[in-house]
Amino acid sequence: MTMKTASITGPMGQIETVFTTVLDDLFYASQTGHRLRGTISDLASALGAERLEQLEDQRNALSERVDAIRREVGQATGFVDGVARNSRRMGHHLKELNENIQSANIVALNARIIAQGHRHLPQGDQMVRLSADISEITDVANRQVSEMFEVMDQTERAIAVISESVDHRSNDFSTNLLPRLEELSTLQDALYQGMGVSRKSANWLGTYTDYLAGAVAEIIGALQAGDRACQRMTHVIQIRDEARRYPSNTPERQALDMLSGMQLAHTTKAAYEDVVRALELLDNVLKGLPDLDTNCAAVLKVFDNGRLRSLRSESIEMSNITDQLPQEARQAFATLKECDDNLREHSDKLGNAAFQMQLTSINTIIACARVGGHAADMIVISQQINEVISAVPEIFAKFAEALDDTKAHLAGSEIAAHMQEEEAAHRIDLAALSHSQKVVVRSLPGLGTDSRTIIQTLESARKTLKHYKDALGEEWSRVRGKMSATLPAGLEVNEGFKATLNKLRKQYSMAEERDLHDLVFADLVGAPKPTKAPAKPAPAEDDLSAILF
């Protein structure tokens, strides 16, 4: 019949399960703490003085850019209205010029007809020639005006293209760029202000997570006794199994039962002391957890993670909106310059024609005066020509003034000036802003979830350990009387029992077990007694740093 193996009941029989549960919690808390420490390190880097200085520089540059764009948008309406108003003035004065030239043309035609009627007079041929000259000059003037009308049509079309581009540009500013820049400005303000407020909390969190790493490692080290206790429990079971080989109430059975009780009592005492030590360390860690929660909450509160996540911080390509125009608008500016040159050329010719007409009409009047009253009608018609032509310079001056105003309006406009510049496309560099936003957005969820995980896990470990400490304390109170005992009377050493003792001694893995064994059986087997109680060995110095943080 096979003998049933002995077992350990009560708290000491649960030590492996309890310690495994607590250690799992501690390792999980340490891994989470390692992740949180990395998060804090990233956040502290993003909140550093150098990064804040970069953000401030970008913030100021962006603010200046927004102000400049707003000024341009504000100018757009006035610019378009001013160009349109001057265009209408130019058209009005050009029509006046055309009407005067047409009137002069009609009067010149009448002058030629009248001059033909006076050909027989002494100055008749000269009057015919002069009237023909006037007619030719008015034809030249008429052609100049017609060509000026064509140039004006080109000018108006160019102005319309530019006005449309400016209007489109203004709409782009208002509906696309300004909201984007304002959004970035909001993001910068949120990051800058939040970073200043949260830097203190981030620094505290960095210090605390460093402390947490060492504290959890120390607790885990204290609980390494669980491994030793489990080994000793195995040896206690082996002692009990050997004891059951002897009949009840025999000295050998009683001696081995006494040995197992002493080994169990010493193991219980060591385990209880280790649990008490671990619980004290854990309680010290738990004292800082409210501050951990408070500081994580402070960082979370100062940043609106949902808002930060929704704001975009990629670099903005400004070229298509701010500095480059459609090709049509650029061509329109070239057309305006060309039209201006053409209008100047035509105006010079028109002014010269007007002067020639006035001069010729005066010569005609002089020629008519030489023949007396016979050419009075020719004198009248020549005076009419002179009167009509004399209004041309004044009207043309008004036209030229309107043209100059339009040119000045175009040249003086900040929008127009930008539109004429052939600048390379550039961008607002938002690298620092983008980096800080990404770090903060990535860090905030971890601050909330990881801190809660650490708190909950350590509290769970503490609850388990506290419950086990209470149960183990009761067990220790029950077995502490078995720390020492006297061998039963009548125990004699025989080779069989001596072999059993040697077998058990060889199975021990710890010096304190062997020392206790020798202390009990020294007189019986002739082994030297330990001079003092066995010292508790220091736990193995495991390198936990690589495992924990």
Strand-pair partners of 316: 428
Q: What average pLDDT does the segment 51-60 reach?
A: 75
Question: For 224-248, what is each residue's pLDDT tens digit?
Answer: 766 788 888 889 999 999 999 999 8
Which letter, b or e, does each residue of 373-411 get, where b requires 16 or more Cβ atoms within 10 Å of its Cβ? eebebbbebbbbbbebbebbeebbebbbebbebbeebbe
- Which pLDDT band holds residue 526 (cuts at 50, 70, 90)? low
Cα separation, 420 vs 136, whole angstroms: 42
**Distance of alpha carbon 362 from its chain centroid, rounded?**
81
Residue pair 109/139 in contact (Cβ under 8 Å)? The answer is no
Residue 114 has pLDDT above 50, yes or no: yes
Q: What average pLDDT does the segment 519-537 reach?
A: 61
Torsion angle of the four alpha carbons 366, 367, 369, 373, in this order, in degrees rounded to the nearest 10 = -150
225 or 117: which carries more pLDDT confidence?
117
374 or 166: which carries more pLDDT confidence?
166
Q: What are phi and psi of 316, to 5 degrees?
A: -100, 125
CB atoms within 10 A of CB 53: 11
Residue pair 302/197 in contact (Cβ under 8 Å)? The answer is yes
Residue pair 134/359 in contact (Cβ under 8 Å)? The answer is no
**Long-range CB contacts (< 8 A, 24+ apart) of 32-35?**
32/450, 32/453, 32/454, 32/457, 33/209, 33/212, 33/213, 33/216, 33/450, 33/454, 33/548, 33/549, 34/213, 34/548, 34/549, 35/446, 35/450
Residue 374 has pLDDT above 60, yes or no: no
Q: What's the pLDDT score for residue 313?
A: 54
Strand-pair partners of 381: none
218 or 66: which carries more pLDDT confidence?
218
Residue 185 has pLDDT above 90, yes or no: no
Q: What percent of the chain has pLDDT over 90?
A: 12
Q: What's the pLDDT score for residue 209?
A: 82
Q: What's the pLDDT score for residue 528?
A: 53
Residue 538 has pLDDT above 50, yes or no: no
Q: Which of 154-158, 350-354, 495-499 has the highest mean pLDDT?
A: 495-499
Backbone region of residue 527 per phi and psi (left: phi > 0; alpha: psi in -120 to 50; beta: other values):
beta
Locate 514 and state its tokens: 């062997």
Q: What average pLDDT does the segment 165-170 reach?
A: 74
- Which pLDDT band holds residue 375 (cuts at 50, 70, 90)? low
Work out the mean pLDDT of the chain and round it to a whole number.
76
Cα separation, 432 vs 454, whole angstroms: 32
pTM > 0.95: yes or no: no
- Which pLDDT band holds residue 205 (cuts at 50, 70, 90)? confident
Cα separation, 43 vs 433, whole angstroms: 14
Q: What are phi and psi of 424, to 5 degrees?
A: -70, 150
Residue pair 228/92 in contact (Cβ under 8 Å)? The answer is no
- Which pLDDT band holds residue 412 (cuts at 50, 70, 90)? low
Q: What are phi and psi of 223, to 5 degrees?
A: -85, 0
Residue pair 32/455 in contact (Cβ under 8 Å)? The answer is no
Backbone region of residue 529 per phi and psi (left: phi > 0; alpha: psi in -120 to 50; beta: other values):
beta
Q: What's the pLDDT score for residue 418?
A: 52
Q: Where are the alpha helices (DSSP H) in 118-177?
A: 124-172
34 or 76: which carries more pLDDT confidence?
34
487 or 83: which carries more pLDDT confidence?
487
Cα separation, 99 vs 149, whole angstroms: 12
211 or 313: which carries more pLDDT confidence?
211
- Which pLDDT band holds residue 283 (cuts at 50, 70, 90)? very high
- Secondary structure of residue 316 in the 3-state scheme: strand
CB atoms within 10 A of CB 120: 8
- Which pLDDT band holds residue 429 (cuts at 50, 70, 90)? low
Question: For 432-481, what is each residue's pLDDT tens digit?
Answer: 777 777 888 888 888 889 989 999 999 999 999 999 999 999 988 988 88
Residue 268: closest CA among 539, 13, 464: 13
Residue pair 192/56 in contact (Cβ under 8 Å)? The answer is yes
Cα separation, 18 vs 233, whole angstroms: 14
Q: What's the pLDDT score for residue 127?
A: 72
Q: Which of 37-46, 273-282, 438-447, 536-545 has the highest mean pLDDT?
A: 273-282
Cα separation, 301 vs 307, whole angstroms: 12
Q: What are phi and psi of 540, to 5 degrees?
A: -60, 140
Residue 1 has pLDDT above 60, yes or no: no
Q: What's the pLDDT score for residue 454?
A: 92
Q: For residue 528, what are the contacts with CB-CB under 8 A and spacing of at least 6?
A: 518, 522
233 or 385: which carries more pLDDT confidence?
233
Cα separation, 422 vs 412, whole angstroms: 17
Task: Judge residue 90's burial from the number of C-beta atoms within 10 Å of its C-beta, 0-12 exposed, 13-18 middle, 19 or more buried.
Answer: buried
Residue 512: closest CA among 222, 223, 235, 221: 235
Q: What's the pLDDT score for residue 204?
A: 83
Residue pair 515/534 in contact (Cβ under 8 Å)? The answer is yes
- Which pLDDT band holds residue 544 (cuts at 50, 70, 90)? very low
